[in-house]
Amino acid sequence: MTINSLKLTARMQAVEVGANDFGGPVFAPDMEQVLEFTAGTGARQADILWMDERTLASNTNLDLDLNAVLTDAFGSTISALELVALFVINAPRSGSANTTNLTIGGGSNPVTGYMGGTTPTIGPIRPGSFVFLGASDAAGFGAIVAGTADILRINNSTGASAVFQIAIAARSA
């Protein structure tokens, strides 16, 4: 199966009260970025979607092979070559909250384009927190190379198991 459409929305809204440079006693900024994708493998396009909820035992790693190992919601094996979206939430969809931190990255054969370096990480992602990355240009934000740069590692810290949600959008070419 392929993605027909995909919309990523990142938004931050706030309200502060007090004197400010904008003249009023209320400052209510609203910052938003929307990326919309259609079906395909070029700029502003994506054709692979993988979403799941996973459980990690205390002090363990989950290495997700993004090239020819994972299967999508319809049972098709995905073979991603470029990441365009990554969304990780350190919380279950329902049930008890997590008590441990997650880290993204590191490990053997990691996808690193979005972080730079050879084994960089993002974290700690504290319980209830999230990481959301998106890129709509022709290169996406991370190249996936079979056997050398195709692993996305999620690590759980020590203390308890953690249930997390993850979504990946990618291109196959």
Structure-derived torsion over alpha carbons of residues 14, 128, 140, 173, reported in degrees to the nearest 10: -140
- The confidence score (pLDDT) of residue 20 equals 66
Q: Is residue 165 part of a domain?
A: yes
Rounded Cα–Cα distance for residues 69 and 89 (Å): 22
Q: Is residue 27 part of a domain?
A: no
Q: Is residue 65 part of a domain?
A: yes
Q: Is residue 46 part of a domain?
A: yes
Q: Is residue 17 part of a domain?
A: no
Rounded Cα–Cα distance for residues 14 and 28 (Å): 6
CB atoms within 10 A of CB 31: 9
The domain that holds 145 is classified in CATH as: 2.60.120
- The confidence score (pLDDT) of residue 11 equals 95
Q: Is residue 28 part of a domain?
A: no
Rounded Cα–Cα distance for residues 109 and 106 (Å): 8
Q: Is residue 50 part of a domain?
A: yes
For the record, the structure tokens of 9 come out as 């929305």
The structural domain count of the chain equals: 1
Q: Is residue 48 part of a domain?
A: yes
- The confidence score (pLDDT) of residue 12 equals 95
pLDDT in tens, the chain (173 residues): 678 899 999 999 999 888 767 667 888 889 999 999 999 999 999 999 999 999 999 999 999 999 888 888 888 898 999 999 999 999 999 989 999 999 998 888 888 776 766 677 888 999 999 999 999 998 888 888 888 888 899 999 999 999 999 999 999 98
Rounded Cα–Cα distance for residues 156 and 160 (Å): 9
- The confidence score (pLDDT) of residue 59 equals 97
Rounded Cα–Cα distance for residues 66 and 111 (Å): 9
The boundaries of the domain holding residue 58 are: 40-171
Q: Would you call 20 exposed, middle or buried from its count of C-beta atoms within 10 A (0-12, 13-18, 19+)?
A: exposed
pTM (predicted TM-score) = 0.89
